């Protein structure tokens, strides 16, 4: 038991003491503040038809718990999905493998640690929600049960299941992070977004987030009290489509024993999945199984005469110095292309071809950000891989590492992003939409600059993965202020704003990298 607790404690402290976690907490506080819009806001987070609840404690508790459940699935996976891999990379896993702790005990400890990290963020969001009750709650009486129960029965079981999912996907995919990101993206889309689109009330028992039960209760209150027949429930940041805004008094949900049982079932199901996954956990056994046929191929045949060719030094090509940037750009670009499984390029090529034929608006606003997101594993460590592989001692000591290496990495990443967006750029060129061409070109530079900026200031790729997933999700849901590629804004003013943000990020990144080089 002491080893079990030690693993949880060490893992939790290591995560919460990182810059990435601190930045995530700050982002969580800022985002949680927007979960409850003011009355004249141009967006909504939870809306029942054209009705929005009055900002009493019950409504604020429900809305923030619903949004927290979705938000933590959005960012939490990328915050905790490297638990086992980090132990393997640091050598701690090999030490743990020699101890008496079982596979299930180790994996459950990691899952609990993941859960505690996500629970910390949940508590921060809940405190912010509690402050919003007093800031925007008016003269309504505070209802503690209806404020805290949505967190207790909805959000907490949801993040526990997420903590276990992160462990299971690590076991299944190992170091294939690109494939793991894709699988989680579609899993998130189905379990958190897709299920809540169904109107059948039975779907709520298959909803791991627990959100549908709450929204169905709100929908029933609105339809009963105001003689409505609406089935439209929107969850998430929705901008600009509010035709008429009506307010209703929401006094809370009738918490049924069946709903409580279903949340406990989800927790039990998560533990069961973890128990099954522990049977397939390799316990950090890094031995590779060599195919028998491969063994036969490497057997030396001493019966054959081997001719030894003489090496003539004079005939070898002479080495020449080249301090240009083009060889580095070529090398970095080839590294981006070759990163990840080769078959993944069939998916990329399929989406690139799709960009030529689907409606231009859909291609620009939906397919392109999705295609760029699929390259997250290629761009995430574009400026930090030297530190990860501990080659930065050599790279930083090279000739002009800022002007050559860092710039080459940015240029290579930009070329890849530009090529992926080329179908839309060509279609915009045919129609004479030069603002879109300029926006797409700047967006290709911005998405790479953001990776360089977040990687250098955080020292790793985790922050970029978290934020880029959030930004992509926002773009797929038409959140206008997250538009970084001109999908929703077509004006010189907005392009200049994006250009200023790009220049600012690159300036900070170059300054921090210069400091690192001078003080390594």
Q: Specify whether the CB–CB gap between 183 and 344 falls below 8 A.
A: no
Q: What is the pLDDT of residue 300?
A: 43
Edge-first strand order for the sheet with 233-239 is 233-239, 43-48, 51-53, 246-248
Tokens representing 111 are 């899952």
Q: Specify whether the CB–CB gap between 472 and 445 falls below 8 A.
A: no
Q: What is the pLDDT of residue 349?
A: 93
SS3 at position 239: strand
Q: What is the pLDDT of residue 149?
A: 92
Q: What is the 3-state secondary structure of 289-347?
A: CCCHHHHHHCCCCCCCCCCCCCCCHHHCCCCCCCCCCHHHHHHHHHHHHHCCCCCHHHH
Q: What is the pLDDT of residue 241?
A: 57
Tokens representing 326 are 């083009």
Tokens representing 53 are 């609840």
Is the pTM higher than 0.85? The answer reads no
SS3 at position 52: strand
Please, what is the Cα angle at 516 between 515 and 517, to 5 degrees?
A: 90
Nearest to 398, CA basis, from 325, 476, 493, 496: 325
Report mean pLDDT in 10-residue bins for the chain, 520 residues: 86 87 88 84 82 87 90 86 84 85 91 94 93 81 89 93 92 81 80 63 76 86 78 75 73 88 92 92 65 45 54 75 85 90 87 92 90 90 87 86 91 95 93 90 94 90 88 83 86 92 94 87
Handedness of CA 57, 58, 63, 64 (dihedral sign): positive
Pairing state between β 43-48 and 233-239: antiparallel
How many other C-beta atoms can be found within 10 angstroms of the C-beta atom of residue 31?
A: 18
Nearest to 113, CA basis, from 12, 198, 182, 211: 12
- Please tell me the distance from the alpha carbon of residue 486 to that of residue 481, in angstroms, as a whole number: 11
Handedness of CA 149, 155, 160, 161 (dihedral sign): positive
Instruction: Give the up-direction half-sphere exposure of residue 399: CA atoms within 13 A in the CB hemisphere.
Output: 6
SS3 at position 238: strand
End-to-end CA distance of the chain: 41
Residue 82 makes CB contacts below 8 A (sequence gap 6+) with 170, 462
């Amino acid at each position: 038991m002491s080893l079990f607790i030690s693993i949880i404690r060490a893992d939790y402290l290591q995560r919460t003491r990182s810059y990435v976690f601190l930045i995530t907490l700050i982002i969580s506080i800022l985002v949680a503040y927007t979960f409850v819009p003011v009355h004249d806001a141009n967006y909504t987070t939870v809306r029942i038809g054209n009705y929005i609840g009055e900002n009493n404690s019950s409504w604020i508790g429900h809305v923030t718990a619903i949004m927290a459940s979705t938000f933590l699935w959005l960012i939490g996976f990328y915050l905790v999905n490297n638990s086992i891999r980090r132990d393997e990379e640091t050598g701690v896993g090999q030490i743990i493998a020699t101890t008496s702790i079982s596979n299930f005990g180790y994996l459950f400890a990691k899952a609990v640690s993941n859960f505690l990290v996500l629970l910390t963020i949940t508590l921060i969001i809940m405190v912010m929600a509690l402050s919003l009750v007093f800031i925007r709650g008016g003269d309504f009486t505070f209802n503690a049960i209806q404020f805290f129960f949505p967190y207790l029965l909805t959000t907490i079981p949801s993040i526990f299941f997420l903590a276990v999912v992160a462990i299971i996907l690590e076991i299944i995919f190992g170091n294939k992070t690109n494939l793991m990101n894709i699988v989680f993206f579609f899993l998130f889309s189905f379990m958190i977004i897709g299920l809540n689109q169904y109107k059948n009330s039975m779907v709520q028992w298959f909803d791991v987030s627990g959100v549908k039960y709450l929204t169905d209760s709100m929908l029933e209150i609105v339809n009963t009290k105001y003689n409505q027949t609406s089935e439209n429930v929107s969850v998430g940041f929705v901008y600009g489509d509010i035709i008429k805004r009506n307010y209703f008094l929401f006094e809370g949900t009738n918490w049924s024993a069946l709903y409580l049982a279903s949340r406990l079932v989800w927790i039990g199901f998560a533990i069961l999945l973890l128990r099954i996954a522990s049977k397939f956990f390799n316990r950090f056994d890094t031995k590779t199984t060599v195919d028998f046929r491969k063994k036969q191929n490497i057997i030396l045949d001493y019966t054959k005469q081997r001719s030894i060719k003489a090496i003539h030094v004079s005939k070898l090509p002479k080495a020449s110095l080249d301090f240009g940037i083009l060889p580095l750009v070529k090398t970095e670009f080839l590294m981006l292309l070759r990163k990840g499984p080769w078959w993944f390029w069939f998916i990329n090529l399929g989406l690139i071809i799709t960009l030529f034929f689907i409606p231009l608006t859909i291609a620009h606003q939906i397919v392109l950000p999705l295609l760029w997101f699929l390259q997250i594993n290629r761009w995430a460590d574009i400026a930090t891989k030297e530190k990860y592989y501990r080659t930065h001692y050599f790279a930083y000591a090279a000739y002009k590492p800022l002007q050559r290496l860092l710039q080459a990495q940015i240029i290579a990443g930009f070329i890849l992003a530009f090529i992926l967006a080329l179908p839309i750029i060509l279609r915009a060129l045919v129609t004479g939409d030069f603002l879109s061409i300029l926006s797409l070109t700047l967006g290709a530079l911005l998405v790479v600059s953001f990776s360089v900026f977040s990687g250098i200031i955080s020292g790793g790729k985790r922050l970029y993965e978290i934020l880029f997933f959030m930004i992509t999700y926002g773009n797929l849901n038409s959140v206008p202020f997250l538009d970084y590629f001109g999908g929703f804004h077509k004006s010189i003013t907005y392009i200049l704003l994006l250009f200023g943000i790009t220049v600012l990020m690159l300036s900070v990144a170059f300054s921090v990298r210069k400091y690192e080089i001078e003080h390594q």
